[in-house]
């Protein structure tokens, strides 16, 4: 073979090899892309499926406290013409501050029969405790409502609010706090121990989110949200609604 | 014929791309991992942007952590890196658009980028500028991979016969 023929043969070989490599890249790119899209579609569907399953499980375990009002999502206090809706999480420090700052004003308005307050205990801060304290405390408040002591228990929960990032108060402590406000019957303790109302707390949270509550405290006066909940803003809004 | 400069490019660039690929994989795995434990909270975080109706936000919030983790795993093993990087970039652009939208409407929310987000309490200020800058940084990683998807220790490399 002459040198020129050899060169040509080598060149032809190289071109064929390059074409083969190119074809291989094309096929690999195609099928890996198909695999990526399939993996992502499946992952999304799995997420949706798991969540739908969780929602269904919860829906099956909801025990609505008989004394709850507003579609079974709140506990009422007072009997005035203007409705105040308060969405609160017992883990939320700003709810505690709001309660300290505006609590006396609310009590005055209730005593003067100017307002009806619907307290919605929701659980959006479960990640701030290691024991889902938000959900457990909201459920405990529902148990307290069945014993006729929602407001007293609500006060004591804020007064004993655990630190963010802690384990929260355990069930024994929640039961003990109930005893302090007169919830001495076994039904209250059992409801906490048996998690009777935790499914309800999750449902109330979901209902609140669906109606546009994205944080706590959210305060509505006659259905209108207060931008900066404070005692003054509350009084002004109640007066405006009553006028 | 390769010049010295070209040789350096073909040796060094795949290593830089590899770092970008693994970095982006870590971003997705962490972001998804922090949300996957509470899918209801993830849905509420999407709802806090007030862009979608709650029922739609719940579905997005449930699917998102799984998508993020899947994308992280795909980048980790290096399968169809250019496409994975392109999808990453698309997600990041959507997230940035969401944050800009929340910012421009004056919403006070946690972006929910690496947490379950939600509305911020009074007194806490949102840090949208930082959130956007961070996402833009991740976008640079994705962009680098889009331009130079060949990386070391990747499934792509094995399948295409680059890695021996």
Check CB contact of A41 with chain B, cutoff 8 Å: no
Query: Which of A21-25, A34-38, B119-123 is the least confident region?
Result: B119-123
* pLDDT, average across residues B115-135: 79
Taking 70 as the threshold, does the pLDDT of residue B123 lie above it?
no
Check CB contact of B158 with chain A, cutoff 8 Å: no
Answer for the pair A47, B63: CB distance below 8 angstroms, yes or no: yes
A75-242: CATH superfamily: Glutaredoxin (3.40.30.10)
Our count of domains for chain B comes to 1
**Min distance A87 CA to chain B CA atoms (Å):** 13
CB neighbour burial string for B27-55, b if at least 16 within 10 angstroms, e if fewer: bbbebbebbbebbbbbbbbbbbbbeeebe
- What domain range includes position B137? 34-155
Task: Considering only the beta carbons, identify the residue of A24, A43, A52 that sits closest to B66.
Answer: A43
**Min distance A70 CA to chain B CA atoms (Å):** 20
- A194-203 tens-digit pLDDT: 999 999 999 9
Burial status of residue A140 (CB atoms within 10 A of its CB: 0-12, 13-18, 19 or more): buried
Whether the ipTM is more than 0.95: the answer is no
Distances (CA, A) of B30 to A20, B63, B75: 40, 15, 13
Check CB contact of A208 with chain B, cutoff 8 Å: no
Mean per-residue pLDDT of chain A: 94
Query: Which of A32-46, A145-159, A215-229 is the least confident region?
Result: A215-229
Task: Considering only the beta carbons, identify the residue of B39, B70, B118 that sits closest to A51.
Answer: B39
- B56-95 tens-digit pLDDT: 999 999 999 999 999 999 999 999 999 999 999 999 999 9
* pLDDT, average across residues A84-103: 95
pLDDT value at position A23? 92
Taking 90 as the threshold, does the pLDDT of residue A108 lie above it?
yes
Q: For residue B91, tell me if it sits in a domain.
A: yes
pLDDT value at position A172? 96
Break chain A into its structural domains and give their ranges.
1-60, 75-242
- A44-68 tens-digit pLDDT: 999 999 999 999 999 998 999 999 9
Taking 60 as the threshold, does the pLDDT of residue A227 lie above it?
yes
**Min distance B114 CA to chain A CA atoms (Å):** 13
pLDDT value at position B122? 57
């Amino acid at each position: 073979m002459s040198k020129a023929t050899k060169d040509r043969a080598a060149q032809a070989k190289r071109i064929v090899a390059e074409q083969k490599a190119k074809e291989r890249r094309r096929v690999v790119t195609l099928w890996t892309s198909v695999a990526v899209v399939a993996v992502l579609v499946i992952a999304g569907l799995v997420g949706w499926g798991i969540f739908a399953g969780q929602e269904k499980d919860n829906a099956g375990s909801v025990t609505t406290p008989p004394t709850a009002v507003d579609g079974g999502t709140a506990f009422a206090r007072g009997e005035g013409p203007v409705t105040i809706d308060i969405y609160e999480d017992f883990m939320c420090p700003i709810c505690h501050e709001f309660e300290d700052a505006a609590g006396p004003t609310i009590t005055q308005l209730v005593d003067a029969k100017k307002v009806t307050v619907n307290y919605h205990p929701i659980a959006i801060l479960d990640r701030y405790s290691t024991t889902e304290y938000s959900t457990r405390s909201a459920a405990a408040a529902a148990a307290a409502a069945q014993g006729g002591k929602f407001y007293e228990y609500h006060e004591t929960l804020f007064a004993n609010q655990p630190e963010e990032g802690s384990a929260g108060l355990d069930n024994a402590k929640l039961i003990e706090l109930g005893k302090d406000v007169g919830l001495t019957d076994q039904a209250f303790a059992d409801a906490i121990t048996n998690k009777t109302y935790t499914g309800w707390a999750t449902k109330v949270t979901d209902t609140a989110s669906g109606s546009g509550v994205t944080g706590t405290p959210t305060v509505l006066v006659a259905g209108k949200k207060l931008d900066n909940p404070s005692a003054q803003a509350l009084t002004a809004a109640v007066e405006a609604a009553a006028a | 014929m390769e010049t010295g400069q070209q040789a350096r490019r073909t040796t060094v660039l795949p290593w830089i791309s590899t770092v970008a690929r693994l970095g982006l994989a870590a971003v997705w795995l962490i972001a998804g991992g922090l949300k996957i434990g509470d899918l209801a909270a993830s849905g509420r975080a999407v709802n806090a942007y007030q862009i979608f109706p709650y029922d739609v936000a719940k579905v997005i919030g449930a699917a998102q952590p799984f998508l993020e983790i899947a994308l992280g795993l795909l980048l980790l093993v290096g399968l169809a890196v250019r496409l994975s990087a392109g999808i990453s970039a698309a997600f990041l652009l959507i997230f940035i658009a969401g944050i800009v939208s929340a910012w421009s409407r004056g919403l006070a929310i946690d972006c929910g980028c690496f947490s379950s987000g939600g509305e911020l309490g009074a007194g806490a200020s949102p840090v949208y500028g930082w959130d956007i800058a961070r996402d833009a940084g991740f976008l640079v990683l994705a962009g680098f991979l889009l331009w130079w998807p060949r990386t070391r220790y990747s499934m792509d490399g094995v399948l295409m016969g680059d890695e021996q």
